[in-house]
Amino acid sequence: MSQMVYDVSPEEIMSPGHLGCGACGATLSMRLALKALGRKTVLVVPACCWSVIDGPAPFSAAGVPVMHTPFASAAAAASGVRAALDVKGEYDTTVCAWAGDGGTFDIGIQALSAAAERNENILYVCYDNEAYMNTGIQRSSATPWGAWTTTTPVEQPQSNPKKDVVAILAAHRIPYAATATPAYPLDLLAKVKKAKAIKGTRFLHILAPCPPGWKFSDERALELARLAVRSRVFPLLEVEDGLHWRFTVDHPGDPVEPYIRAQGRFRHLSEEQLVIVQERVDARWGELLHRVVG
């Protein structure tokens, strides 16, 4: 287990008055990430919750330049911004694509894969609220097994497992990939800071709880993100060069039931189905242990 130490900047780059929902995990994550990235950052944001959260033109809550792009093109647009800045000699400006799970796991994965294959010098952050929340809570390939969405109703809940996007990016042998959540802010800050200092394609997968989409009360957002880590539903780890995996916090292995039962999107699950969820989490943890030890 590696020890991460990071001094939190008191400067608030992101402005109040954004259009995010109360306790939005994506908004909390952006606030923290900008503290590590600093003002010499260009954000590339495709269609997603954050294209609304940032505010209506000509206003912006981000506090740094933002380029809005079509749904599928975040990584491609970020690659172009990086090339343009390099021509201008602005090598110390960080280009960060900031996209949701729909624009990363699904619609934008071809552009992301191409950028990763070229090892473009960009940081790509996926804030994952596990569905297309901005357009009405439709399922994505990041939606967990058994979850209700408007396109996977209770009678036919999500029947496929969540896509392992970190393993996909690690298979490209990019210099750095990691997972994070705002419930562990120092871990998140340290990983953003580390990614900023690396040249090449860096990928950060952030679990971003969504109160209206997951169906829980606002004050429980960080509690649920913490439960996801403690129960090993969402382990916090980092991967270097696609080969070297390691955990960055302790994962006690708490039962998944408190995490699942706290969310209305799982209210329909039976005890038998809850056992299946636990078995899937345990199996996934076993796979990760093999990667870390191996």
Tell whether the model's pLDDT for residue 130 goes beyond 90.
yes
What is the chain's mean pLDDT, rounded?
Answer: 96
Percentage above 90 pLDDT, the chain: 92
State the pLDDT at residue 7: 74
d(CA 118, CA 12): 34
- State pTM to two decimals: 0.96
Tell whether the model's pLDDT for residue 14 goes beyond 70.
yes
- pLDDT for 195-221, tens place per residue? 999 999 999 999 999 999 999 999 999
In three-state secondary structure terms, 258 is: helix
Count Cβ atoms below 10 Å from residue 271 Cβ, excluding itself: 7
Q: Which helix (H) or strand (E) holds 64?
A: none
In three-state secondary structure terms, 132 is: strand
State the pLDDT at residue 6: 57
Count Cβ atoms below 10 Å from residue 112 Cβ, excluding itself: 29
pLDDT level of residue 231 (50, 70, 90 thresholds): very high
Contact 101/130 with Cβ under 8 angstroms? yes
- pLDDT for 58-103, tens place per residue? 999 999 999 999 999 999 999 999 999 999 999 999 999 999 999 9
pLDDT level of residue 1 (50, 70, 90 thresholds): very low
Which residues does 219 contact at the CB level (< 8 Å), separation at least 6? Answer: 23
d(CA 183, CA 90): 33
